[in-house]
A and B are shown apart, each in its own frame.
Chain A
């Protein structure tokens, strides 16, 4: 059974960089066949897709965040990561990692989510 687990600081200061890692178990990122996404949810609000990465390193970012987002992959650790720079209070959200089949378009496995608060 595939499992995804987010990790990283729960508190980030304004203007700093938010960094999160998603560790995948029960399946290998390097086997291909899936995109690995980051999705966030502002408190009490809907879902916003941030972007995804393929095991090869190819990425696509939501244009609304593109200038501040970097998603990377470490296949040796079976992990992928999110960096969001120059954060403000508006970036306070629950951040989820999720898996999307190449031939699917749906998110079939999700991490449990991690709340990141931007505050001084």
Chain B
């Protein structure tokens, strides 16, 4: 299985701050990497697919980049409604695997 790691595991930032989360794969996964947002008690929501493509309807303050083994997810200006846990997920290989998540809080 491809192992996914994320850092940090949690962060606190102020409204308007730029927030960056990193995701690393245990082997080269090209750009086969997606990002999800999960709010408490809710199902995950797809934000970014293929490492850098914004899902329809997702605000442009969310972005993703990277390829190979190292990926970055950015919120350009943190909003109160962005409080959630963010997960990366690879689909280069089966089984699909997710990162452990990064919990984002407001300072």
A108 near B44 with CB under 8 A, answer no
| A104 and B49 in contact, given A96-B43, A113-B43 (Cβ under 8 angstroms) | yes
Task: Indicate if B72 sits at the interface (CB-CB under 8 A).
Answer: no
For chains A and B in complex, what number of residue pairs have CB atoms within 8 angstroms?
54
On chain A, the residues within 8 Å of B55 by CB distance are: 108
B87 near A62 with CB under 8 A, answer no
CA distance A29 to B29 in the complex (A): 29
Most buried by A among B89, B95, B96: B96
On chain B, the residues within 8 Å of A110 by CB distance are: 43-45
A46 near B43 with CB under 8 A, answer no
On chain A, the residues within 8 Å of B95 by CB distance are: 49, 51, 60, 62-64
CA distance A104 to B91 in the complex (A): 9
B96 near A49 with CB under 8 A, answer yes
Task: Indicate if A25 sits at the interface (CB-CB under 8 A).
Answer: no
On chain B, the residues within 8 Å of A108 by CB distance are: 46, 55
Interface residues of B in 55-106 (CB under 8 A from A): 55, 87, 89, 91, 94-101
Q: B residues engaging A (CB < 8 A)?
A: 1, 32, 34, 36, 42-46, 49-50, 55, 87, 89, 91, 94-101
